[in-house]
Amino acid sequence: MSLSASEKAAVLSIVGKIGSQVGALGSEALTRLLLSFPQTKTYFTHFDLTPGSAQGSKSGPGSADLNTHGGKIINALAGAANHLDDLAGNLSSLSDLHAYNLRVDPGNFALLSHTIQVVLASHFPGDFTPEVQAAFDKFLALVSAVLTSKYS
């Protein structure tokens, strides 16, 4: 499975809109993940999950932990989007980290992919058209496949 030229353009168009909102968007996606799928909290026991604990920060509401990690996730996705022809190479170190060190349940990537799409759709309703959503869903599936490729 690979992305067509129009799908690549759709992914890049949404990634281009994220801009300086990476912490806030990532924090919101993680918060939705943790609230909707409480079993995922296992991986974030060291995080301050207190709502609003980072109020007034540049990256938006939510705990500093959620803003920081959420920003890393969204930045990693943006980096991957800028390397669509070599996702495996671009995400290799993250794949190693998640498979060998963190041992994240591979099913969580699909759950997080879903919450990321909900957040993007809510923040960019005019831009996150059905065509863009389909392309971004395919992109996230490809990213998830790379991240889980080293699980044995």
44-93: per-residue pLDDT in tens?
A: 877 776 665 544 444 445 678 888 899 999 999 999 999 999 999 999 99
- How many domains does the chain contain in total? 1
Give the integer Cα–Cα distance in Å for 43 and 30: 11
**In-domain check, residue 85:** yes
Range of the domain at 138: 5-44+51-147
135 belongs to a structural domain: yes
- For residue 152, count CB atoms less than 10 angstroms from its CB and return exposed for 0-12, middle for 13-18, buried for 19 or more: exposed
From 29, 31, 76, 25, select the one nearest 53 (Cα to Cα).
Answer: 31
- Indicate yes or no: pTM above 0.85: yes
In a domain, 74, yes or no: yes
**21 part of a folded domain:** yes
Q: Is the dihedral of CA 55, 58, 59, 64 positive or negative?
A: negative
CATH number for position 123: 1.10.490.10
pLDDT, one tens digit per residue, over 16-53 is 999 889 999 999 999 899 889 989 988 887 777 666 55
